[in-house]
Chains A and B, each alone.
Chain A
Amino acid sequence: MRPFTYERAEDAAGAAKAAAEAPGAKFLAGGTNLLDLMKLEIERPTHLIDVGRLPLGQIEPTAEGGLRIGAMATNSAAASDRHVRTLYPLLSHALVSGASAQLRNKATIGGNLMQRTRCGYFYDPAKPCNKREPGAGCSALEGDARGNAIFGASDACVATHSSDMAVALSALEAKVETVTPGGSTRTIALDDLHRLPGDRPEVETDLAVGELITAVLLPPPPAGRQEYRKVRDRASYAGGLFSLALAGDRLAMGAVALKPWRARKAEAALAAGASAAEAVAAELETAQATGRNTFKITLARRVMTDALGGTLEGATVR
């Protein structure tokens, strides 16, 4: 780990201001992702602003019938919260399907959104990566990368976003509340928080330098069922190869892009009366594989078709 200076934030606006004024500063909340990357010297902050003790852990109903989840609530606390479990069981499911219990006890909701990709080449300093070193090149493009994105990738980056929670939040049409270095509050749709790689894969979110996430805002729960499905190499404590969040008539996919992928084409097709198979085909029409991740398109078709109650090749998919 490279040397850094450390301060404990007194309040959210002060933390944002301090972060904007100190080049090389990073916020530290649970630390489960940041400290891991600092040990590998992939993250090299020169100053840490510990926001973990800010009083931003409250989970409370909003006047609009939704829920406000403070950014410093741990993943465990949010998954276990009575309101989340009864009104947004999809979110509880997504949270407990990520990481391990120890990590969930430490990792925060804000940090979960800011976690970095688990692309193996991003984690391997011996190989070029445009996220680590802009302009260096992407090793995953022609590498052994069965985890690569199938939507929204570019020649510069084919990584995926690793959060299960964010996939659920996309289907729930959540918003993210922030405080800016100037001290004002801003609200961003979850779907607008993360960026696709384009030619600047090192810029991962729409947040300004120093801007701090203070809460996740959920609108009232949608009518209809909620479900989270995750497919991975082992039954527990593994990143997803594909995941699907279903909330009423809204669908979002995980592990397919550098952000949660809201399946708006499938939603529109279903709303227009298409069958499950037709809706899924409409969504996957633009999916692009880079080679070893071709299976993801098949996996996506099967999981989505089954979740939507459709049949594939004459039989219900199991």
Chain B
Amino acid sequence: MPLREAPTVAFEITVNGEVRQVDVDVRTTLLDLLREHLGLPGTKKGCDHGQCGACTVLVEGKRINSCLSLAVMHEGEAITTIEGIGLPGNLHPLQAAFLERDAFQCGYCTPGQICSALGMLAEVRRGEPSQATEDMSALAIALTDAEIRERMSGNICRCSAYPQILEAIRDVAGPAAGVSA
């Protein structure tokens, strides 16, 4: 009996500003599409089950776990990976702050931490509440350290560089980021 062949699917997706044509097994996750098919290994596979955050990318500016999404679900959408945020010689200020603050040891979770932090800062600018937000009805968020910690809880760092990650994000966000909204 012949093995049942998984259907493939062809579609267009924009990654780091570049429109890409892909034709992949429909089961391909967004994470595997980036790493295995588009030559962008900066996004990391940690747990592959949405628990560690290493695979965090921005889809239309919003952070998601790329491991828990089929690539085909993102047909026509714009994806930003760590490679699209900054490369050696032209680092994003948050990447520079991670270096300056020594906000990693092994570095495996770092691309996810940085994508997540950028998505997080945009959420704060939009006034989105978190579990650490005292007043749900307040439309401007004061970005306290407790807010940053809570909002970054979807990114695990097994080297435990959390204090330095917090400092690096704080350097870029500024002491009162988000308050003015």
Contact = CB atoms under 8 A, between A and B. Distances in A.
Interface of A: 1, 3-6, 28, 31-32, 35-36, 39, 50, 52, 76, 79-80, 82, 85-86, 89, 92-93, 96-97, 99-103, 105-106, 235-237
A172 to B, nearest CB: 14
Nearest 6 A/B pairs, CB to CB: A100-B154, A236-B153, A89-B136, A3-B6, A80-B128, A237-B153
30 contacts: A4-B27, A6-B70, A32-B65, A50-B73, A52-B73, A76-B128, A80-B129, A85-B136, A86-B136, A86-B137, A89-B136, A92-B129, A97-B131, A100-B53, A101-B119, A101-B120, A101-B123, A101-B130, A101-B154, A102-B53, A102-B56, A102-B65, A102-B119, A103-B68, A103-B154, A105-B64, A105-B119, A106-B64, A236-B149, A236-B153
B69 interface: yes
B64 A36 contact: no
Interface of B: 4-7, 9, 26-27, 29, 48-50, 53, 56, 62-65, 68-70, 72-73, 116, 119-120, 123, 126-131, 133, 136-137, 139, 149-151, 153-154
Given A82-B139, A103-B154, A106-B65, A76 B123 contact: yes
B116 A36 contact: no
Contacts of B128: 76, 79-80
Contact of B137 (A39, A85, A101): A85
B137 A6 contact: no
A154 B43 CA distance: 44
Given A28-B73, A89-B136, 14 more contacts: A6-B72, A36-B49, A39-B48, A50-B72, A79-B129, A80-B129, A85-B137, A93-B131, A96-B129, A97-B131, A101-B151, A102-B56, A102-B154, A236-B149
Contacts of B120: 101
Contacts of B129: 79-80, 85, 92, 96
Nearest to A96: B131
Contacts of A28: 70, 73
Contacts of A82: 139
A35 B64 contact: no
Contacts, number: 108
Contacts of A3: 4-7, 27
A5 B7 CA distance: 7
Contacts of A101: 63, 116, 119-120, 123, 130, 151, 153-154
Nearest to B4: A3
B136 A92 contact: yes
Contacts of B7: 3, 5-6
A148 B56 CA distance: 32
A99 B133 CA distance: 16
Nearest to B65: A102
B41 to A, nearest CB: 20
B9 to A, nearest CB: 7
Contact of A106 (B69, B126, B131, B136): B69
A57 to B, nearest CB: 13
